[in-house]
A and B are shown apart, each in its own frame.
Chain A
Amino acid sequence: MYPAEFAYVRPDGLDAVFTAVDEYADDAKVIAGGQSLLPLMKLRLATPAMLIDLAGAGELSGQHRTPSGVRLGAMTTYRELQHSPHTLGLLPGLGETVAVIADTQVRARGTIGGAVAHGDPTADLPAMLLALEAQVHIGSRRGHRRVALDGFITGVFSTGLADGEIVTALEIPLPPAGTGAAYEKVEQPASHLALAGVAAVLTVEAGTVRRARVAMTGVTTTPRRLTAVERALVGSTTSDVALSEAAALAVDGVVPLDDVHASPQYRLHLLEVATRQALQVAARRAGARWAA
């Protein structure tokens, strides 16, 4: 399969990227790793007249400690993250999520900025980033802004990026002591995309949940937080009964996707199961951290 014809540029540096994105506006797409965009282009579901390659903008790479967390350049590949023990040690849950994205070869090219900017309803990383309360750094010729990831992905392949804007980095705050995280997913076996994936980040103090962030992917039109589950968890114990009761709330008000891979009812079932498993694993890890 061949993509439709397009012109290609690889601007040298971030300012040149901003200029190109501004100049070509609606006719252009930016390409990072291309592991999502190129398949869409080969199917002619995307037919940009101009492809702006971000690979020449070194500013989009690198991992930095900030006063409150870690900032990861948008061009950071999954593979780079897997080989960044320092970052993974600071941010529980990130390593095990990245490890189940697609396969080795795709992880070598796919980027974390792309995972967020593409707005795929089945992407793994946004679920964990939501549970870790990630912020999205956005840049354009006009300047920079920073927004919460929660609310940034607005629909299937849709985000809050305005014309001329690109994702430049993700910033993740360090979770408090006593925090454990887990990502559980049931996947479509050929594509490895999530039929239901749940990320849980729990802070536990002496057997009581103090803080809970739980998010899902693959089930609805966007990855999103499961706030009813979060509310039920805070103040509860980490007993199997308490976690199962909270997990049962995951399906509340959820309108599931319906496609060839899974019926709505099956997706809801998977959602509850994955939520329960993620909560159990995260609680156990949080407890272990607390004991240590």
Chain B
Amino acid sequence: MAQVQDGTDVTVSLQVNGRHEVHTVPARTLLVHHLRNTLGLTGTHVGCDTTQCGACTVELDGTAVKSCTVLAAQADGSSVRTIEAVSRGEDGRDGGLDHVQQAFWDQHGLQCGFCTPGMVMAVRQLLRDNPRPTEDEVRRGIDGNLCRCTGYQNIVAAALAAADAEAAM
């Protein structure tokens, strides 16, 4: 974990979606820009850029965070999972939609789709913390994510359907 560098560049070593990625970037590089611009993983979106909308949500060491408010340098030594890999199995193969994504599809949980990658990551976190949430708990659980299209109703329905699907597995 020790990292002491005096310049304004840092070398960032990450496991991203199972791949080892080592890049030297300016220290001020935000994790979301590192993912999108350095690694080309543009599924993670920049929405408000002010820690409010959640479009940039990724899993950092298994926990959902807003990647516009984490420095790539802070993530050095960690593993990151982005929307590109949520449906990927242990073997790295793409398994189609995962059950949360499938629930968004089935319940029409998106319109323009801009917030969806972050919403999916937030719902995954919610279900890890609370596998059988009530509707109220879903609404509280995703209050770090904004959607300007759906009025949230179908997103909440998707989260509840995903919980049902998980329980049936």
Physical interaction between A and B: yes
B64 touches A42 (CB 8 A): no
Interface stretch (choices B67-75, B80-88, B100-108, B157-165):
B67-75
Distance in angstroms between the alpha carbons of A39 and B69 in the assembled complex: 7
Known A39-B50, A191-B52: A8·B27 in contact at CB below 8 Å? yes
Q: Which of A1-58 contact B (CB under 8 A)?
A: 1-12, 16, 31, 34-35, 38-39, 41-42, 51, 53, 55-56
B6 touches A105 (CB 8 A): no
A55 touches B74 (CB 8 A): yes
B3 touches A56 (CB 8 A): yes
Quote the shortest CB–CB distance from A20 to chain B (angstroms). 8
- Indicate with 1 or 0, residue by residue over B26-57, a CB within 8 angstroms of chain A CB atoms: 11101001000000000000000111101001
- Residue in A4, A11, A16, A103 with the greatest tally of chain B CB atoms within 10 Å: A103
Given the complex, which residues of A lie within 8 Å of B129, measured CB to CB? Answer: 104
Indicate whether A109 reaches chain B with its CB closer than 8 angstroms. Answer: yes
Known A3-B28, A42-B49: A12·B1 in contact at CB below 8 Å? yes
Given the complex, which residues of B lie within 8 Å of A102, measured CB to CB? Answer: 51, 144
B76 touches A10 (CB 8 A): yes
Query: In the complex, which of the residues B3, B50, B64, B125 contacts A10, with contact meaning CB atoms closer than 8 Å?
Result: B3
B interface size (C-beta, 8 A): 40
Indicate whether A108 reaches chain B with its CB closer than 8 angstroms. Answer: yes
Quote the shortest CB–CB distance from A46 to chain B (angstroms). 12
Given the complex, which residues of B lie within 8 Å of A241, measured CB to CB? Answer: none
Given the complex, which residues of A lie within 8 Å of B26, measured CB to CB? Answer: 5
A109 touches B49 (CB 8 A): no
Given the complex, which residues of A lie within 8 Å of B51, measured CB to CB? Answer: 35, 38-39, 102, 106
Known A8-B27, A105-B65: A38·B1 in contact at CB below 8 Å? no
Indicate whether B122 reaches chain A with its CB closer than 8 angstroms. Answer: yes
A6 touches B144 (CB 8 A): no
Q: Which of B94-114 contact A (CB under 8 A)?
A: none
Distance in angstroms between the alpha carbons of A5 and B50 in the assembled complex: 19
Indicate whether A190 reaches chain B with its CB closer than 8 angstroms. Answer: yes
Closest to A53 in B: B74
Given the complex, which residues of B lie within 8 Å of A35, measured CB to CB? Answer: 51, 69
Query: In the complex, which of the residues B6, B54, B64 contacts A9, with contact meaning CB atoms closer than 8 Å?
Result: B6
B28 touches A104 (CB 8 A): no
Query: In the complex, which of the residues A7, A11, A34, A192 contacts B27, with contact meaning CB atoms closer than 8 Å?
Result: A7
Known A6-B27, A8-B27, A79-B63: A190·B52 in contact at CB below 8 Å? yes
Closest to A190 in B: B52
A9 touches B4 (CB 8 A): yes
B28 touches A4 (CB 8 A): yes
Distance in angstroms between the alpha carbons of A12 and B5 in the assembled complex: 12
Closest to A38 in B: B69
Given the complex, which residues of B lie within 8 Å of A79, measured CB to CB? Answer: 63
Indicate whether B166 reaches chain A with its CB closer than 8 angstroms. Answer: no
A8 touches B5 (CB 8 A): yes
Given the complex, which residues of B lie within 8 Å of A106, measured CB to CB? Answer: 51, 66, 69, 144
A108 touches B63 (CB 8 A): yes
- Indicate with 1 or 0, residue by residue over B6-37, a CB within 8 angstroms of chain A CB atoms: 11101000000000000000111010010000
19 contacts between A and B (CB under 8 A): A5-B26, A7-B7, A8-B71, A9-B3, A10-B73, A34-B69, A34-B70, A35-B69, A39-B50, A42-B49, A42-B50, A104-B125, A105-B64, A105-B65, A105-B122, A105-B125, A108-B60, A108-B63, A109-B65
Residues on B facing A (Cβ under 8 Å): 1-8, 10, 26-28, 30, 33, 49-52, 54, 57, 60, 63-66, 69-71, 73-74, 76, 122, 125-126, 129, 141-145
Residues on A facing B (Cβ under 8 Å): 1-12, 16, 31, 34-35, 38-39, 41-42, 51, 53, 55-56, 79, 102-106, 108-109, 190-192
Which 10 pairs across A and B sit closest by C-beta, in order of nearness? Answer: A103-B144, A12-B2, A8-B27, A10-B3, A3-B28, A105-B66, A8-B73, A108-B63, A105-B144, A9-B4
